[in-house]
Amino acid sequence: MVAFTTDNRRVAIVGGVRTPFARMGTALAEVPMVELARMAMQETLYRSGIGGGRLDEVVLGNVVMPPEAANPARVAAIAAGVPEHIPARTVQRNCASGMESIADAAARIAAGNARLMLVGGAESMSNIPLLFPRDMLGPMARLARAKSAWQRLRALAAFRPRHFRPVVGLTLGLTDPSVDMIMGRTAEVLAHEFDISRDEQDAFALRSHRRATAAVEAGRFAGHMVTVYAGEAFTPVSADVGPRPGQSAEALAKLPTIFDRRDGSVTVGNSCQVTDGAVALLTADGELARAEGLDVLGYVRAYAVAALDPARMGLGPVYAIDRLLAETRLTLADVDLWEINEAFAAQVLACLRAMADDDFARRHLGRHAALGELEGERLNVNGGAIALGHPVGATGARLVLDLLHEMRRRDVRRGVAALCVGGGQGAAILLERS
């Protein structure tokens, strides 16, 4: 278990931007992950007025690291103009990677080991490569070693059509090898266990689209968004490609259940979108932020990670929130705004039921009573990943960035962002504005 608070030293978030989030294969498909991260980092530094040379380190969350950029944090930092002598590190806790980078900086700053850190997360799911099957290696190696024409011919003859059928890297990445389940199957498990109907899931998905659309129309993201100039034509991309203003309940109801065709209830419509995007945040020692008059969006108060059965990974937020509240001696009611990442509608709804269930609290959390009811008016108020998409390495950082801005807009004190993590974990972070 991981849990810590920053009671001894304040950790401020003093700026940040995100790129638009664009559904896989759309507006940002041509932009490599490192470029997305570069633009978010560069813009964050420019807007904050902090020179890259003052950073202690750059930490970036990323899940499927691009083959052409081992340690993408380092490659992106240099591309963003951060001086070469500033170190950089990529962190990976699957879906929580972006949040992990913030926690990482918070822990270092709280311990007095750093004063300024550039963090964030990035993912280009459009650019996850296709792979050749493993049993192609033999003939490939023989071909490379072949010297004479005859040897070459024999090596070529060993190839079979199946060798050329690519393996989709994305599918591999979304499958948990510990239990051999693709993520959607774990959502089906929770839907059955908590008895969540297809209608409930679709209604939740519709709400996500409506809220996200309203937030876009009200310009709630625009202020902390950097325009990406994509591809060779430098086409400006300045809005999320995901929220559907015209989404109807009927259309959602028509979609097939893809993870369990006969008895399932999870569809692409009530699951998160597969998306490209990047987020950068600047974290600073609270004292330094005050002394320099930096614009403090909020403070990181505590962070918790919990782990559980990989097949029920969607409940991760419940365990993590439990730890977070225990650590800070707060209750659900003390927190004004909530973000629980929408990996699947079924999964978020399952979390809400588990949190409100005394029996679940006793059996799994060691509590006497349930955590409590979390009303919809305080949860994912600007929509979530079902509408905005889930670029896995970036989402944790987006939740924090969007939540901080919403907290400022509503002028409320506390917010929690949490997400479930493929592989059977949950992460939650507590943010405060004063």
Of residues 209, 224, 390, 405, which has the active-site annotation? 390
- Segment near other proteins (CB under 8 A); pick from 55-63, 76-84, 163-171, 265-273: 76-84
- Segment near other proteins (CB under 8 A); pick from 123-131, 233-241, 297-305, 339-347: 233-241
- Segment near other proteins (CB under 8 A); pick from 235-243, 283-291, 324-332, 351-359: 235-243
Least distance in angstroms from the C-beta of 171 to other proteins: 31
Least distance in angstroms from the C-beta of 223 to other proteins: 10
Contact 398, 416 (CB under 8 A): no
Contact 11, 296 (CB under 8 A): no
Contact 256, 267 (CB under 8 A): yes
Please, what is the end-to-end C-alpha distance for the chain in angstroms? 28
Amino acid at 278: A
**Cα–Cα nearest to 294, from 16, 8, 3, 9:** 16
Tell which one of 81, 129, 139, 169 touches other proteins (CB under 8 A). 81
Distance, CA of 278 to CA of 119 (rounded, Å): 11
Q: Is 80 in the site for other proteins (CB under 8 A)?
A: yes
Q: Is 288 in the site for other proteins (CB under 8 A)?
A: no
Tell which one of 238, 249, 253, 331 touches other proteins (CB under 8 A). 238
Of residues 95, 209, 351, 405, which has the active-site annotation? 95
Tell which one of 227, 268, 336, 412 touches other proteins (CB under 8 A). 227
Which tokens hold the place of 239? 């809005």
Contact 240, 4 (CB under 8 A): no
- Segment near other proteins (CB under 8 A); pick from 145-153, 229-237, 279-287, 398-406: 229-237
Q: Is 43 in the site for other proteins (CB under 8 A)?
A: yes
Residue with Cβ nearer other proteins (79 or 330): 79
Q: Is 224 in the site for other proteins (CB under 8 A)?
A: no
Residue with Cβ nearer other proteins (19 or 380): 19
| 192, burial (CB in 10 Å: exposed 0-12, middle 13-18, buried 19+) | middle
Contact 309, 424 (CB under 8 A): yes
C-alpha distances in Å from residue 299, one per residue of 10, 31, 152, 383, 432: 7, 32, 63, 23, 5
Residue with Cβ nearer other proteins (66 or 310): 66
- With H, G, I as helix, E, B as strand and everything else as coil, classify residue 100: helix
Q: Which helix (H) or strand (E) holds 102?
A: helix 97-110
Q: Is 270 in the site for other proteins (CB under 8 A)?
A: no
Q: Is 331 in the site for other proteins (CB under 8 A)?
A: no
Contact 3, 304 (CB under 8 A): yes
Distance, CA of 312 to CA of 189 (rounded, Å): 7
Least distance in angstroms from the C-beta of 79 to other proteins: 5
Q: Is 104 in the site for other proteins (CB under 8 A)?
A: no
- Segment near other proteins (CB under 8 A); pick from 41-49, 209-217, 300-308, 316-324: 41-49
C-alpha distances in Å from residue 254, one per residue of 100, 262, 360: 37, 14, 33
DSSP code per residue over 287-328:
HHHHHTT----EEEEEEEEEE--GGGGGGHHHHHHHHHHHHH
Contact 61, 396 (CB under 8 A): yes
| Residues between 373 and 432 that touch other proteins (CB under 8 A) | none
Distance, CA of 393 to CA of 233 (rounded, Å): 27
Tell which one of 47, 142, 154, 413 touches other proteins (CB under 8 A). 47
Contact 425, 94 (CB under 8 A): yes
Tell which one of 4, 132, 159, 229 touches other proteins (CB under 8 A). 229
390 as an active site residue: the answer is yes
Which tokens hold the place of 349? 């709804």
272 as an active site residue: the answer is no
83 in the Ramachandran plot: left (φ > 0), alpha (ψ -120 to 50) or beta?
A: beta
Least distance in angstroms from the C-beta of 374 to other proteins: 36
424 in the Ramachandran plot: left (φ > 0), alpha (ψ -120 to 50) or beta?
A: left
Residue with Cβ nearer other proteins (88 or 313): 88
Tell which one of 234, 293, 359, 366 touches other proteins (CB under 8 A). 234
Residue with Cβ nearer other proteins (159 or 229): 229
- Segment near other proteins (CB under 8 A); pick from 74-82, 146-154, 166-174, 264-272: 74-82
Tell which one of 10, 18, 38, 398 touches other proteins (CB under 8 A). 38
Of residues 209, 224, 351, 420, which has the active-site annotation? 420
Distance, CA of 22 to CA of 28 (rounded, Å): 6
| Residues between 122 and 161 that touch other proteins (CB under 8 A) | none
Least distance in angstroms from the C-beta of 130 to other proteins: 25
Residues annotated as part of the active site: 95, 390, 420
Residues at the contact surface with other proteins, assessed by CB under 8 A: 38-39, 42-43, 46-47, 49-51, 79-81, 227, 229, 232-236, 238
